[in-house]
């Protein structure tokens, strides 16, 4: 897995453990945006993956804890989708003109009302946020 994604997952797990209080990072989770964006682009993550994650991070401070939980879960979903993309490509998943598999629709962080769109449990295969710490003490 890409280093920027590992770092982001660690921040998100800590944020989850803290009850989505936006204090896993000094100044708020959105403070990681500049450095994370540089790392993600350097790691050559797909632009669509980077932009989707950045949308969630940018809106995060303005959300209530329940919507922050949903935003964190959506970021985990984006990461999972990215990690599954190579497997889908080799399995004959329909692709766009560039040969890359077409991503499933991922709800953007804001809707016309400015809140997180709530997905049904069938839209979110990982219905609860992962809160376990990474084994190995890293």
Tokens 């049904």: give the residue: 120
Domain coordinates of the chain in residue numbers?
1-131
pLDDT in tens, 32-44: 999 999 999 999 9
- Coil, helix or strand for 136? coil
Position 7 pLDDT exceeds 70: yes
CA distance 22 to 15: 7
Is pTM beyond 0.75? Reply is: no
Tokens of 71: 């935003």
pLDDT in tens, 24-68: 999 999 999 999 999 999 999 999 999 999 999 999 999 999 999
Asked whether 89 and 34 are in contact (CB, 8 A), the reply is no
């Amino acid at each position: 897995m890409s280093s920027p994604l590992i770092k982001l997952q660690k921040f998100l797990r800590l944020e989850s453990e803290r009850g989505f209080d936006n204090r896993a990072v000094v100044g708020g989770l959105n403070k990681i945006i500049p450095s994370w964006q540089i790392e993600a682009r350097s790691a050559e993550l797909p632009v669509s993956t980077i932009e989707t994650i950045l949308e969630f991070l940018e809106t995060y401070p303005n959300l209530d804890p329940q919507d922050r939980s949903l935003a964190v879960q959506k970021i985990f979903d984006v990461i999972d989708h990215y990690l599954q993309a190579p497997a889908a490509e080799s399995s004959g998943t329909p692709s766009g003109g560039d040969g890359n598999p077409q991503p499933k629709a991922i709800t953007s962080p804001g809707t016309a009302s400015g809140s997180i769109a709530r997905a049904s449990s069938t839209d979110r295969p990982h219905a609860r946020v992962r809160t376990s710490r990474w084994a190995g003490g890293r």
